[in-house]
């Protein structure tokens, strides 16, 4: 039975969550742990020994590896049981994404196939289409790709020029156009292709088989990273697609594309975790081996700082990703109980968390960027050598800030979607902003002394900072808000820091209830340092935003004073806290948090 107290997407800004109500990685079931281990074993057996062969794009190797993972059931995790899949939860699919995320270029092929390649058919296909394609996509007998981007339609996906015209006999759509940056395009058997029928304003979606005549595949693109991932341009020249291969309804393609991108964004937040944990383990292994000035470099404070920051960013990202993953599962269950068909419940359940999906994609990808960059730095000159895996990790990570909508687009989406969702759900950010302003002018409460009361006080204030500024900019800019991208980025970053701080705190609180105070001392260090740093980010972003749009001096000074108060936290000895975190990592010699 579905929970009654599920927070809807974006509601975390105005409602509090109890620690007992959040899902944390320590809650994984035995079956979920087994799936994670199967993913790890697969990488150890088939991917890591073949990294150079994969990066050299050895003919047929990537497709063969996908098929091998299919034999182990790893491609069928999200496919319904009636189509020979395992029908697992969203969280379980996230776990597979995380562990496969350590697989460099293979993780890209895997994510494209199991996510954006297969799920449009899973969620939007009719029974005939599902029966025809899903069993083979789940087994690996067929591989898949997603064809949305065009030369002049990247972030603005609906600007695509690919056309579909019904044939005279009414049996086929004749497809003409060009797609680019198509992952798995060099070998995919089945593609979900987006095009406009006749003179429609919006896209439709089609299931296109590789064997259809009139398709031309360009040579593989040469890329900075993820070199082993197949990426090609595809041309459709009078390609005949059977009318029964229209996916969903006519004109529904843009909605399909957006909803699949929501899913891809939150999944990417999970995928980066696998890459991050592997890079951290490689970092500490090297730091424990490399000696300079007569001792291991792991003993130096500068290295401990880097190792600790790697851990903090990963643990907080993990806390946030699995929290929202379970919210999605709970919402899906609730929608099914209310009578929605399974596919539609999945679509709406994921779409409801578009805000969280957008900012966790940004937060996770930028965390990984930091982690792999510092991994190279810890390795020093060796990190710049292509003989080390951290060099590959560094190059491969860069695409994550572009994949699934650039981080810039996603930062804008966070604000736009939050304001629209607020109006739809019946709370006006302008009114919230005014009430917060009034509250701050009347009374500013002292910081509580109890540990959890203190930290929740900070988190509540972080949210108030976001709401205060959201109302102010909505009032000032109204319909011109999208032109103020720098300000939107500032407030988006405040929202990200607030959610991540709360997620980490709730995980700590729940863990302490399970294991006791002493067992979670190291996680208190993680939360203390993260919230302390988050406060600085929020203060800077808030002041930058205010100074960018408030002209009246008295009001500007007042707002900055409020932001300074809302971002006020007690001092933390961050040096000692980071050293304790790093010392645990150094002692374990692998990521074990």
Backbone angles phi, psi at 98, to 5 degrees: -60, -50
* Residue 33 sits in the same domain as residue 128: yes
Residue 317 included in any domain:
yes
CATH of the domain at 173: 2.40.110.10
With a cut of 80, say whether residue 4 has pLDDT above it.
no
404 is catalytic: yes
Q: Which of 147, 105, 174 is nearest to 232 (CA)?
A: 147
Residue 422 included in any domain:
no
Residue 417 included in any domain:
no
Q: Which of 47, 93, 55, 58 is nearest to 74 (CA)?
A: 93
Half-sphere exposure of 381 (CA within 13 A, CB side): 1
Q: Distance between CA 507 and CA 26 in Å, rounded? A: 9
* Residue 381 sits in the same domain as residue 466: no
* Residue 207 sits in the same domain as residue 290: no
Tokens 């729940």 belong to which residue? 510
> Among residues 366, 391, 404, 509, which one is catalytic?
404
* Residue 188 sits in the same domain as residue 119: no
* Residue 581 sits in the same domain as residue 436: yes
Q: Distance between CA 303 and CA 315 in Å, rounded? A: 19
Q: What is the token pair recorded at 167? A: 């044939």
Containing domain of residue 345, as a range?
A: 253-407
Do residues 274 and 95 make contact, with C-beta atoms less than 8 angstroms apart? no
Q: Distance between CA 452 and CA 439 in Å, rounded? A: 23
Predicted pLDDT of residue 1: 63
* Residue 240 sits in the same domain as residue 257: no
Predicted pLDDT of residue 420: 87
Query: Following DSSP, what letter does each residue of 540-562 receive, concatenated?
Result: HHHHHHHHHH--SHHHHHHHHHH
Share of the chain above pLDDT 70, in %: 99
Do residues 500 and 531 make contact, with C-beta atoms less than 8 angstroms apart? no
Predicted pLDDT of residue 448: 87
CATH of the domain at 516: 1.20.140.10
Of the three residues 351, 377, 407, the one that is the final residue of a domain is 407
Residue 420 included in any domain:
no
Average of per-residue pLDDT across 494-502: 98
Residue 133 included in any domain:
yes
Residue 416 included in any domain:
no
Share of the chain above pLDDT 90, in %: 89
* Residue 433 sits in the same domain as residue 580: yes
- Rounded to a whole number of angstroms, the distance between the first and last alpha carbons of the chain is 32
* Residue 436 sits in the same domain as residue 580: yes
Predicted pLDDT of residue 297: 97
Residue 413 included in any domain:
no
With a cut of 90, say whether residue 159 has pLDDT above it.
no
Q: Distance between CA 314 and CA 250 in Å, rounded? A: 42
* Residue 581 sits in the same domain as residue 434: yes
Q: Which of 421, 369, 407, 559 is nearest to 485 (CA)?
A: 407
Predicted pLDDT of residue 383: 95
Backbone angles phi, psi at 310, to 5 degrees: -60, -45
Contacts by 479-484, CB closer than 8 A, 24 or more apart: 481/415, 481/416, 481/419, 482/412, 482/416, 484/548, 484/549
Distances (CA, A) of 189 to 145, 233, 401: 8, 15, 28
Residue 2 included in any domain:
no
Tokens 């730095």 belong to which residue? 377
Residue 480: Cβ-neighbour burial (10 angstroms; 0-12, 13-18, 19+): exposed
Of the three residues 143, 177, 209, the one that is the final residue of a domain is 143
Average of per-residue pLDDT across 242-260: 94
Backbone angles phi, psi at 153, to 5 degrees: -140, 85
Residue 215 β-bridge partners: 236
Q: Distance between CA 103 and CA 82 in Å, rounded? A: 30
Q: What is the pTM of this model?
A: 0.95
Q: Which of 269, 355, 314, 345 is nearest to 89 (CA)?
A: 345
Q: Distance between CA 43 and CA 277 in Å, rounded? A: 14
Average of per-residue pLDDT across 485-503: 97
Of the three residues 201, 220, 247, the one that is the final residue of a domain is 247
With a cut of 80, say whether residue 403 has pLDDT above it.
yes
Q: In the chain, how many domains are there?
A: 4
Do residues 70 and 76 make contact, with C-beta atoms less than 8 angstroms apart? yes
Q: Distance between CA 139 and CA 127 in Å, rounded? A: 18
Do residues 146 and 192 make contact, with C-beta atoms less than 8 angstroms apart? yes
pLDDT digits (tens, 9 = 90+) for 303-352: 999 999 999 999 999 999 999 999 999 999 999 999 999 889 999 999 99
Residues constituting the chain: 593
* Residue 438 sits in the same domain as residue 584: yes
Tokens 């990190």 belong to which residue? 383
* Residue 457 sits in the same domain as residue 554: yes
Do residues 32 and 91 make contact, with C-beta atoms less than 8 angstroms apart? yes
Predicted pLDDT of residue 444: 75
* Residue 434 sits in the same domain as residue 575: yes
Residue 402: Cβ-neighbour burial (10 angstroms; 0-12, 13-18, 19+): middle
């Amino acid at each position: 039975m579905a929970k009654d107290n599920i927070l809807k997407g974006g509601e975390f800004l105005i409602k509090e969550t109890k620690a007992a109500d959040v899902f944390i990685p320590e809650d994984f079931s035995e079956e979920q742990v087994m799936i994670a281990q199967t993913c790890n074993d697969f990488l150890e057996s088939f991917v890591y020994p073949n990294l150079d062969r994969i990066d050299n794009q050895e003919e047929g190797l990537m497709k063969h590896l996908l098929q091998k993972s299919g034999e182990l059931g790893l491609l069928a995790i999200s496919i319904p049981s009636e189509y020979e899949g395992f029908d697992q939860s969203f969280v379980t699919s996230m776990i597979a994404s995380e562990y496969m995320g350590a697989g460099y270029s293979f993780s890209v092929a895997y994510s494209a196939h199991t996510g954006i390649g297969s799920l449009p058919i899973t969620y939007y296909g009719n029974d005939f289409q599902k029966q025809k394609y899903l069993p083979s996509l789940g087994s690996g007998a067929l591989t898949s790709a997603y064809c949305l981007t065009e030369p002049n339609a990247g972030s603005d996906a609906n600007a695509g020029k690919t056309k579909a015209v019904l044939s005279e006999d009414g049996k086929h759509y004749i497809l003409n156009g060009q797609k680019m940056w198509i992952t798995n395009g060099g070998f995919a058997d089945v593609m979900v292709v987006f095009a406009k029928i006749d003179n429609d304003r919006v896209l439709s979606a089609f299931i296109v088989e590789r064997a259809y005549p009139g398709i031309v595949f360009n040579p593989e693109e040469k890329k900075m990273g993820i070199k082993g991932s197949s990426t090609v341009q595809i041309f459709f020249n009078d390609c005949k697609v059977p009318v029964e291969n229209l996916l969903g309804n006519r004109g529904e393609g843009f909605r399909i594309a957006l909803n699949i991108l929501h899913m891809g964004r939150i999944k990417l937040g999970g995928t980066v975790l696998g890459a991050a944990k592997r890079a951290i383990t490689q970092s500490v292994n090297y730091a424990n081996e490399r000696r300079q000035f007569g001792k291991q470099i792991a003993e130096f404070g500068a290295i401990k700082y880097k190792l600790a920051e790697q851990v903090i960013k990963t643990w907080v990202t993990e806390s946030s990703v699995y929290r929202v993953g379970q919210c999605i599962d709970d919402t899906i269950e609730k929608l099914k109980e209310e009578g929605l068909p399974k596919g539609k419940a999945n679509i709406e359940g994921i779409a409801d968390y578009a805000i969280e999906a957008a900012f966790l994609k940004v937060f996770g990808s930028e965390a990984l960027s930091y982690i792999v960059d510092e991994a190279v730095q810890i390795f020093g000159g060796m990190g710049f050598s292509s003989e080390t895996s951290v060099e590959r990790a560094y190059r491969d990570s860069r695409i994550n800030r572009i994949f699934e909508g650039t981080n810039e687009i996603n930062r804008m989406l966070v604000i736009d979607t939050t304001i629209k969702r607020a109006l739809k759900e019946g709370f006006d950010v302008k009114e919230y902003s005014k009430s917060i302003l009034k509250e701050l002018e009347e009374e500013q409460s002292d910081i509580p002394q109890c540990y959890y009361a203190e930290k929740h006080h900070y988190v509540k204030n972080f949210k108030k900072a976001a709401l205060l500024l959201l109302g102010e900019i909505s009032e000032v800019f109204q319909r011109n808000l999208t032109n103020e991208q720098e300000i939107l980025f500032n407030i988006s970053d405040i929202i990200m820091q607030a959610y991540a701080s709360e997620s980490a705190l709730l995980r700590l609180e729940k863990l302490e209830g399970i294991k006791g105070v002493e067992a979670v001392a190291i996680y208190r260090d993680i939360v203390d340092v993260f919230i302390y740093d988050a406060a600085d980010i929020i203060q800077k972003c808030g002041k930058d935003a205010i100074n960018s749009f408030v002209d009246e001096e008295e009001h500007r000074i007042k707002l900055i004073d409020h932001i300074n108060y809302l971002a006020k936290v007690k001092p933390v000895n961050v040096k000692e806290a980071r050293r304790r975190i790093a010392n645990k990592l150094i002692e374990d010699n692998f990521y074990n948090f």
